[in-house]
Each structure stands twice: as C-alpha cells, then as structure tokens.
Structure 1
C-alpha cells in the first residue's frame, strides 16, 4: 500500500511540471480569456446592442426590427439588450403602433448603429401619439345606381353591383367595357327592388360560382347562383340556378337585400318583413313565413332537383309550423349584415324612431330580435309589448327631431384590412339620410370607442370590402369611395 502511495505521488509530481495541475496542486493557469461570443474582455470577438423603447402606454408592445451582418434579424417589443453580435453595422427600424383611436409613431423610424467587438452599442426609439384621421378616396368611375361592392379574397378586381341588374368589374381604376353579368331583363327595380347584392362561393377559385340577391318581375325575392364563363372577366348568364324564391307580392319595400356566406360555409340571406308600415301581416314574428328573417341553407351540392339542403343545426328542423330555413327572426328590414370571424352583425333598419345593430355568435340560431313587438329596445306594439325571449340590440340610435341623427341605417363591416391597423376590430356603419361614416368597437361588456370620423357621402346605400379587406362606401348617387388614411393620420 505504501509503495502504491509513493508511486502516485511521483506521478503527480511529474504531471505538475507538464500540466500545472493535479489534485488541487499548484501552478497559475493565467488570466482566462473571454468565453467565446460573450462580447466582454479585451479578447472579445463579439459585441452587444442595447435597444431602448420608450413612451408607449403600459402593456402596449413596440414594433422594432433589428437586422445586421450574417443575416441577423430579430423583432423587439420592449427594451432589450442583444448579446453575441458580430461586429458591424446594424439597422434598427421601428413601425407605427396602433392603440385604440391613436397611432404611436416612432422617432427615429430608422437608424444605423455600429457594434464593435467587446463593447455595447446603444439605440433609442421614442414613440409619440397622434390622432388617426380618415378620408374618402373616390375610386374614379361613375356608376348607375350602385348598391354593393365586393371581391373574392386576394383578387385585385372590384365587382360593383348596379340595381338595374348589372355586375361590373373595376380593374386599376377603370371599368371594363363588358359587364361581368347582365340580368336586367329579369329584375324588378320599382320601390326598393333591384339587384341588391352578390356573394362569392367559398370555393370560387375552383368552381367559379357567385350568388345574386334580387327581386324578380313578380316582386319575389330571389337568390340565384351563376357560374363564371371561360372568359376571366365575364360570367355565364345561361347558368342560372334558382336557390331561394320568397313571395313578396303586396308592397314594393322591405325586400331585405343581403346574401353572404358564413364562416361555417353556409349561405345566409336577409329578407325584409314584406313591406308596408308596422309589418301589417305579422311576418317577422311568424315562424311559418320566410319574411323578416335571416335564412341559412347549405348549397354545397345544389342542383335543379335540390337547390339547397337544410343544415341539421338550424333551430327549427322538423318542427311543425316552423320553416327549417329560418336562422333568426323578428327583423324588419336587414338590408345589410356581415360576418366577423364567429360573429354575425345584423344592421336592421328601423320604423320611425330607432335604428339597431344586433350582434350574436354565428352558432346562436333561433334568436328573435323583436320586431314588430320591439323597435330597437323600446316597445313598438304597446298592446302586446312582452320582451320575453327577445334579443335586444347591442347598439342603436334614435332618429331625433327631423331625423337629425339619421333615418335609415346602412350597416357595414368590421375592419380587418392591413392599411389601417388602428381600425382593426372596429365596425363601420352609415345612414342613408345623413351619409356619415361612424364606427364602434364591440366587446363582451358592450359597445365602446364610438366615433364619428367627420366624413360624409350622399345617400350611402352600402359598404364594400375588396380582396385585401379594405373598406369602401357606396353612394346611390353613383360614386364609390375607399376608406383611406387622412393626411394627418
């Protein structure tokens, strides 16, 4: 055992001369160099960059991107130090940040910073707020009684619907000479009738189908499917397939007018109550009538023999005396409705006193919005004003004396475009009599951020949305405007 200990001691002593280390033995290893890439010490090969972001409200993220050598790129939302950077020039680019009705602009928007090995460079971005302003930009051409504007997602064209029965295409600010479709020989245009809206099939890119909502020569409400022709900018007028036909014989008003596909792939149509004043036939509350309703049908396998199927989740399937096509009831004249994700916004035109917007989850079938028992949240038929089972509006406004606030609601869309990120989530609407452009933000607790944008157009009959999600205002006087950023916004 003693011999082994001596042998180990001698080996260790020899190793100490060679390695300067053994079982905590002596020797000075010298000053350690920097850990590779830590950017410190005189032998450092990398550096650091501290980016300071200030003056944003609490909880609001900045929008800063740092790029540099070796394809370096990193996005920052708050003050941060970036270590282990290769020496060289770095670009710090900051973007606007939208908060409610204000835009926070960065200063400077771009800057270049040189990072040196072994050192920490600094860059500062300071945000300052300013109000968002909007303007209405005329797209150029004049139309004959336009009522609707739409486009397939991602498409550069605008499809403009004219009441007389024509669908026109605008490309690069010019109207194509030949209409996409002309069904004027079958359209009734008296009163509030006409070709009133159109919707692209969710699978339009493959099947080329569009759906038109119009009043025929007998004043029936018709939803009809058409196909595209082999020509890219022309529809096929011979391809008509009638999907829905709802009798509307007595009056020439309250035809409704909107057809749209929901996020569930089903086709929705909004019908008026049949016209007259005060729903004289009681259609809106009659579940055996398709008038004064939102209808929901499945057209994925539409044919002449069976133009639609009833979705099994419709609320009145297999119920005697109740039409299975009905999704919602108690509506006076839902001239315009729209979808935002899983939410359905219905703009229901009022009688003499109030205009209302109803909002519900797409999954909520069977809701009764109250007409003609209620007008908005107030009683209309005082003799039987029982609110039991009624869904009251999320938003409404009174006409006021001499219709100072408006007389006929024109519903629009929730903004989901990219040109005006400050507006995302805001619902836009107008009024036929006043022509204003207003918006609000709907939350679970109610409507907030109500805003009048200080814009106006003559007889606003509709809003539109293009293939990029930007919004348009349609004037019955023949002009179409895009909602755009104002000069100080």
Structure 2
C-alpha cells in the first residue's frame, strides 16, 4: 500500500500536470495583466431578433456577436464595431451608426452603444434585356458579363448592359423546342477560368434529354469553340413533350448535377419517378473532372446506389415530378418541384445527403396523390409547400429561384426567392431551424408570368418573364 507521504507527492504532481494542460476556453480565466475590455450594448431590436455585430482589432482579433455583451481580455488598441443591417420579414433594422471605433486601454472597459431603428425594405425590378425565348441567365463567378440562354438553342452574351451581336453558342440545328423542350440551361465548370468548360442541358429531335460539355474559344472569350463538344449523357424521354426538368449545375463537391422530369403525362403514368432503373424523375450526380470520349463521366463512389443491382448508380435522389429549377447554397440544396393539380413544393436538404425520396407519385407535397391514404415511410416531406387554391389563386406551377448572396441588398442574405408561373409574384422565405420562416411577399411591378430566375457572377438575382424580358431585382427608391 502507498504511504501517506507518497500519496501527497502523487497528488501534487497531478495538480501540476493539470495546470500545465490549461483550459479549452477561448479566453483565459484570469486576464493577462495589462489587458482591457469592451462592452457592446444593443438597443432597438425586437425581442428574439439577433443582431450581427462584428468586432475586429489588434492581433487579428475578430468576433461576431448576436446580443449585447462584454468582451474581456482584449489587448489594448483600437477596435472596430460594425453592425450589419438585419431583415425580419420586409422590415429592415439598421444601426444609426453602423461602424464605430472604440479604444481599449489597459485595465479599463470601453463602451460602444449600437442603436437600431426600422424601415420597410421595398424591392422593384429593372429591365435589363429582351430576348425572345429566354429561359435562363448565369455567369462565371465574379464575371461582369451575363449569359442568356434561349430555348431555341442560342446563348447570348450581355456585356455592360448591351447584348453582343454574335451568339456565344448557336446549336439551333440540334435543339427541339417542342412543348417544354429546348435549350434549358447552362453551367460553368468551377475551374472555368483555367479549363474553359461549360455544360448545357437541352432536348433533341428524338425527345431525349442531352447534356454536353463545350469549351470557350481561346481566341475570343465571348465565343464558344464550335468543334469542342463532348456528349456527357443522353436520357431517353419517349412520348410526352413536357416534364424535362431542365437544370444542370455544379454542387459544392465539384460534381455535376442534373434534375430530370418524370417523363410527362399526368400522374407519371410510366412510374418513372419511383423506378430505380430509370433516370427520369431524379437528381443525378456525375463526375466529369476527367471527361473524355471513351468515358464521358464517372460515377462518384459516394453515390448512394453504387453496386446495387437494379438501381442506376447515377441517381442521387428520386421521387421528383418536374424539378424545373433547383439551387445550391453552400452546403444546402433547394429543389422546387412543380406539382400536379393541388400542391407546389420546395424541398430543402443538406447538399451531401444522398438517397432522399421526395415522394412523387406517391405524394404531391404532403398530400397523398390520387388516393385517400398512402404509405409515406421513407419519404422526405417538403420543407415548404402551398396549395393552388380556388381558381389557382395562389399559383399553379412553382418557379424555383436562388438564395440571395449578392452585395447590393445585403440584408436579404440567406433568403430563398421563388415565383409561380400563374401567380407572377415574387416571394421569399428564410430556411432556419429546419423550417421556412419569415415568409414574405414582395410588391413588384406586374411583369406577367415568371418562368425562370437568373443569377449573375456577383450573386445578384434576375427574373425572366414569359415575354422574354429579363429584369434585375433591385432596391426600390425611397418615396
């Protein structure tokens, strides 16, 4: 047995070791001598609405707070306190002094008071172009140009507010625009600046869905290289000329995604959306990093149905009716899926969450489709939905948009925007705590049916009307 003297020695050593290990806390329990503190007081915000106040200072100090507090153990020096404008519904809360400077002295506490007041945020639209058959607008990141996709098979470039006379791409001889078909979207490769690759999604004369890779001309960045074409995938779409889906894009993981419709016909008569051996009614995920003629794409090994008999390995998600538009926002995916006759829906999931079944044609939104009861086990319910209402008063066909991440309207950051072809409105919600909050209707001029959204290289959003006119969403001037 240990002697009492030895026990004392061991206990003393243990205390010394714990002292040497320190603490996991961000700030030491006892502030070093010579440091000071900064108290930030917030006033004027409604209860429950968090602020976004950024504090920066000496030695690369940076901290963001959502409520008033005292920051201790600060090195002496000048600190900048910046208060972001906060949006709640369409009420914008701004600090009377959005940027303040405080000097922290050793052994003292500096105080900064941030006072907020509210005003109504109003949006409007500004026409930027008119292109017959326009269905999409996009641009490479930080590029000042806008690329406008025409259903007939052309891509036009708008530079400094003017359309260039020569199309970026013209494949009208290979595109069939019957029904809902045509050239429906394009996506720039994440490394477009170095490899010049972009991808297009269109329907051909045989009614197939086709995704191709093209390249920009090395001699003129406003022109595509006509001979540099690689077919990535061709999906048979026999019969109906609707429900093609229509969007191709890159996810945050660098893989190529495309969302196909169920093949058309009321109620998915072929049962494609729930058929694991069909590529219709699905979200597909492909690796095109080393695409070439003999092997235009690889299957990412993390795709959920790799190696499973009777299940196509390209499938990332299933149970979609007509996902006309979807959008990635960081590590989150928003899919707007057009309903049959009663419900329109937006599905929200983690971008890395595979094998989700969004329910069609077992369900339409959270309703059993064409049945009094149904089994929804294993199905993912929409994060947001709305009923058409009597005489389609709420709409009839959702037009999915994007999450705003631009700089012109910073208070809109994180809001997902959408419209409806029959409604012609502009609405948004904030997806927070697993629910669609702050559902807001924005009053904008009547521009008719809205068939698509666009997003430029700076993250600003555009509306594309059925008339072919394109509008940028902007801040309305104060009355």
CA distance in 2, matches of 1:99, 1:198: 32
| 1:234-274 deviation digits (Å, cap 9, x = unpaired) | 11121111001001121111111011111111111111111
Residue number in structure 1 paired with 2:88 = 100
- 1:173 equivalent in alignment to 2:161: yes
Could you tell me whether the CA contact under 8 Å between 1:168 and 1:180 is conserved in 2?
yes
Shift of 1:123: 8.6
CA distance in 2, matches of 1:414, 1:225: 26
Could you tell me whether the CA contact under 8 Å between 1:259 and 1:267 is conserved in 2?
yes
CA distance in 2, matches of 1:53, 1:218: 63
Could you tell me whether the CA contact under 8 Å between 1:261 and 1:267 is conserved in 2?
yes
Shift of 1:125: 5.7
Residue number in structure 1 paired with 2:299 = 310
- 1:357 equivalent in alignment to 2:346: yes
Q: Once structures 1 and 2 are overlaid, which stretch shifts more, 95-104 or 441-450?
A: 95-104
Residue number in structure 2 paired with 1:473 = 463
Q: Once structures 1 and 2 are overlaid, which stretch shifts more, 245-254 or 385-394?
A: 385-394
SS at match of 1:337: strand
Residue 329 of structure 1, aligned match among 314, 318, 326: 318
CA distance in 2, matches of 1:420, 1:133: 11
Q: Once structures 1 and 2 are overlaid, which stretch shifts more, 156-165 or 419-428?
A: 419-428
Residue 462 of structure 1, aligned match among 438, 452, 455: 452
CA distance in 2, matches of 1:97, 1:171: 31
Could you tell me whether the CA contact under 8 Å between 1:373 and 1:384 is conserved in 2?
no
Residue number in structure 2 paired with 1:13 = none
Residue number in structure 1 paired with 2:251 = 262
- 1:431 equivalent in alignment to 2:420: yes
Q: Once structures 1 and 2 are overlaid, which stretch shifts more, 193-202 or 379-388?
A: 379-388
CA distance in 2, matches of 1:367, 1:65: 41
SS at match of 1:402: helix
Aligned residue runs from structure 1 range 135-174, under 5 A: 135-139=124-128, 141-174=129-162
- Identify unmatched segments of 5+ residues in structure 1: 1-36, 39-48, 68-72, 114-119
Residue number in structure 1 paired with 2:473 = 483
Could you tell me whether the CA contact under 8 Å between 1:169 and 1:233 is conserved in 2?
yes
CA distance in 1, matches of 2:359, 2:343: 13
Cα distance change of structure 1 residues 484 and 299 upon mapping to structure 2, 3 Å threshold:
same
Aligned residue runs from structure 1 range 185-334, under 5 A: 185-230=173-218, 231-334=220-323
> Over aligned residues, Cα RMSD in angstroms?
3.4
Could you tell me whether the CA contact under 8 Å between 2:87 and 2:412 is conserved in 1?
no
Cα distance change of structure 1 residues 417 and 318 upon mapping to structure 2, 3 Å threshold:
same
Could you tell me whether the CA contact under 8 Å between 1:254 and 1:332 is conserved in 2?
yes
Could you tell me whether the CA contact under 8 Å between 1:132 and 1:488 is conserved in 2?
no
Cα distance change of structure 1 residues 378 and 488 upon mapping to structure 2, 3 Å threshold:
same
- 1:420 equivalent in alignment to 2:399: no
Residue number in structure 2 paired with 1:411 = 400
Residue number in structure 1 paired with 2:7 = none
Residue number in structure 2 paired with 1:127 = 116
Shift of 1:99: 3.7
Shift of 1:487: 2.1
SS at match of 2:391: helix
Cα distance change of structure 1 residues 199 and 62 upon mapping to structure 2, 3 Å threshold:
closer
SS at match of 2:173: helix
Could you tell me whether the CA contact under 8 Å between 2:51 and 2:84 is conserved in 1?
no
Shift of 1:106: 3.5
Cα distance change of structure 1 residues 128 and 306 upon mapping to structure 2, 3 Å threshold:
same
Cα distance change of structure 1 residues 398 and 57 upon mapping to structure 2, 3 Å threshold:
closer
- 1:369 equivalent in alignment to 2:358: yes
SS at match of 1:422: helix
SS at match of 2:130: coil
Aligned residue runs from structure 1 range 18-57, under 5 A: 54-57=43-46
Give the structure-1-normalised TM-score: 0.80
Could you tell me whether the CA contact under 8 Å between 1:91 and 1:110 is conserved in 2?
no
Could you tell me whether the CA contact under 8 Å between 2:52 and 2:86 is conserved in 1?
no
Could you tell me whether the CA contact under 8 Å between 2:51 and 2:83 is conserved in 1?
no
Give the structure-2-normalised TM-score: 0.82
Could you tell me whether the CA contact under 8 Å between 2:427 and 2:441 is conserved in 1?
yes
Cα distance change of structure 1 residues 284 and 384 upon mapping to structure 2, 3 Å threshold:
farther
